[in-house]
Structure 1
Amino acid sequence: MSSPANQVLQHRTVLLHEAVDALVQAPDGIYVDATYGRGGHSRLILERLSPQGRLIAIDRDPDAVAHATQGEARVTDPRFSIEHAAFAEMATVFARLGVAQVDGVLMDIGVSSPQIDNPARGFSFRFDGPLDMRMDPTRGESAAEFLARAEEREIAEVIREFGEERFANAIAKAVVARREAGEPLRTTSELAQLVARCVRTREAGQDPATRTFQALRIRVNAELEELEQGLDAALAHLKPGGRLAVISFHSLEDRIAKTFIAGHSKAVFDRRAPFAAPPQLKLRAIARIKASADEVAANPRSRSAILRVAERTGEGVAV
């Protein structure tokens, strides 16, 4: 496997203008970039804000926080601040900053290019490195630690549910067999080679390890639970007329965002209580946007991206 040694790790912001155009409706408002990454969305949001506007950035990756606060790329705009936190901690961040309501929240789900392309982070099967996969390497257990202690059944469930991998049972069995032989998996190349031996049929253009790596990353970072809690916190703090914008990169994430928005924007008739008062809806679905052909050609990682946008309704809006 090759390594991107000595190259600058870059990140192309996906759906940059589409997301910011949909998000920023009040230039004097308070906005949240809940996944700072390398600051692409944040910088454009700041361009759209007035001198009275404010941007709160959040990221669970210490490298992203350092990028925003140190070196040549640091953000010196007085309207900007960044917090080292995960989605699930968004409400705590707001409380600590004394922010009761915000005008918009952007959540760009998934892994950034610098995370994927840095072998030391262990996210990619393309480069040999420690089998880590934590978005915040200061917390929790790594993928290697999970595979070293989890039972075969749990490993198979994770790979099947989060990776939608047909050969999950075979992969889990091989992981445990290797562990019991005194050779637990420690590197990305070891895992990728093990998976390649277990996956009997391959999808065109896709490495056999793709689904397993995705599954373990989601499990290690509790990504789906974090997303659900982040959506709840965002909705709880959005002003009427405020916007929620969510960019997802695979079906599991998009399903959560879609279901969340639909659940708060569509009235469901209850046949058991036909004369009950109509529900108080909290969101109005605005848009579903995919990357353009030009963006996909320039950045293949944007191919699966879906942006969903919703607007907070006024209090007491019945539909």
Structure 2
Amino acid sequence: MTRAVPIGIGHYLPARVVENAEFEAKIDTSDEWIRSRSGIERRHFAADGELTSDLAIHAAKDALNHAGIPATDIDAIVLATSTPDQTFPSTATKVQAALGMNGGFAFDVQAVCAGFPYALSTANAMIVAGQAKRILVIGAETFSRIMDWNDRTTSVLFGDGAGALIIEAQECEGTNADRGILSTELKSDGKYNDILYVDGGVSSTQTTGVLRMEGREVFKHAVAKLAEAGESALEKIGLHGDDVDWIVPHQANLRIIKKTAQIMGVPMERVVVTVQDHGNTSAASIPLALSVAVKRGQVKQGDLLLTEAIGGGLAWGAVVLRW
């Protein structure tokens, strides 16, 4: 059977590093407070004039270099973001042009922090259906542009960055030993719209708005729904938490990461954690963390990975793949 197999991974972080101490002079917070509640120590912010597409382009080039292929070998780009350059056209088409892709197609996916599982599931379906042979899947965000800097409960949590994964159609045996995407699980429930949202929009306020979040409610739902999605994605192919070599979770909050791993019975020694250095980069967090883990030799070919994320909507999902 045809599988979507990873052949390249890359990431990009803006040059500006913002330590927790930088917030102490601006709002009522402290390094200890931020670390104890989120595990975050620092994050990166995009420079003035540095756009989401710029971050995505850098990450895409890194992934192409890792794969050893030119951009002209890519058939499609699926880009997950909640902070696009423009209302339209899609940020993905700007990346397409910048990479010199003169064919194929490109589009954006918007599922907030769950954007990468949604984008990867979409790309996987197109690979399996024969609609494309190689797809560049990107998560890229500039959440620093939608922060309320007077809100100490949210402004310290988010950062900017991008990650990119290239998947390729390959014929495999059709077993769990195959490399590539083995299972996906996507969920959403719109009745939770008001616990994590941006208070602006084109058809409502005609403004960008800023992020609003009820942290305790989000935490409660995140732990339960992430564990449920991960277990469901594994059960579809007859696997369990014990079979997973690495969980590569959405890097939102260290307490959420630890609690979810505990519920699934996976020790933290088998969980990729980068939240301390990047903060919550929303749709970029999974490919960014995966790229870091691959390049430092943590994740190796043949490892079974579970990725999972939850974001506004609420929308959440999980993808099981063998690296």
TM category, shorter: 0.3 to 0.5
Q: If each structure's helix is expressed as a fraction of its own residues, which one has the higher value?
A: 1
- Of structures 1 and 2, the one with the larger relative CO (CA 8 A, separation 6+) is 2
- TM-score, length-scaled by structure 2: 0.33
- TM-score, length-scaled by structure 1: 0.33
- When Rg is computed on C-alpha atoms for both structures, the one with the higher figure is 1
Q: If each structure's strand is expressed as a fraction of its own residues, which one has the higher value?
A: 2
